[in-house]
Structure 1
Amino acid sequence: MSCAKVISQFEVLPPGDLGRRRQWTDAEKIRIVEESYRGHRQGSAVARRHGISRALLTQWRRAYHKGLLEGGPTAFSPVEIAVDPRPAMPGTPPAAEASDRIEITLANGRRLSVALSIDADRLVRIVRVLEQT
């Protein structure tokens, strides 16, 4: 005679803990996303192992690639190098103007002109703010 055994996994929550949501730090999200990229077809297994849905892991992956998670990779935008069509100001040598500044055209059409010596982290924060608004 076969003996069928039903085993279910569930968690008993205390009465004051109903409707709770876990709070994941950006560092934890980055660790889980990077773990999901190791090996072949690891997304579902990693999501199951950490008790999150595959859809949530996909959202975290998108945010990771866009650079929205603190400490994640920096997002890059396509760059086009072109000659400035505007004439140089009288009295200013054109070589000096072009050599110490860079102009960036953002995806939303805004143009940003910054010094070449600008700190990369500061520039990333500025671009993020300008692309959001």
Structure 2
Amino acid sequence: MRQDILTGPERRRRWAIAEKRRIVDEAGAEGVSVAEVARRHDLTRQHIYQWRRELQAKGDLPTVATVFLPVEISSDDGRTERGGDADLVHGYQVEIVVRNGRSVRVASDVPDVIVQRMIRLAEAP
């Protein structure tokens, strides 16, 4: 069995934060394939995904904003009321199912800021 021992400078490329950010931004553009960007820069897709997570964790890359949508609240007797008035939902428990299938259950009187944080945590990998 033959083994080669490599000597000399390290073979890994080093990427500056600015370069990583530029490539992650390029891969995040609408209609762009992450695989295409990775090939263009001689990377794997995993590099780009890892860099995205690292940049988001450091706060160097904004995460996708949470958007609240109008809701309808149905009572047991079939009446439906539109959301938006805080008095309508007082005392209710709300269940929110996020993109990855996890759910968050909160009382209706929990402040929006706390609910947003809980949703971000539930959506985290």
User: Which TM-score band applies after superposition, normalised by the shorter structure?
Assistant: 0.3 to 0.5
Q: How does the TM-score come out when normalised to structure 1?
A: 0.40
| Structure of greater Rg | 1
- Structure with the largest fraction of strand: 2
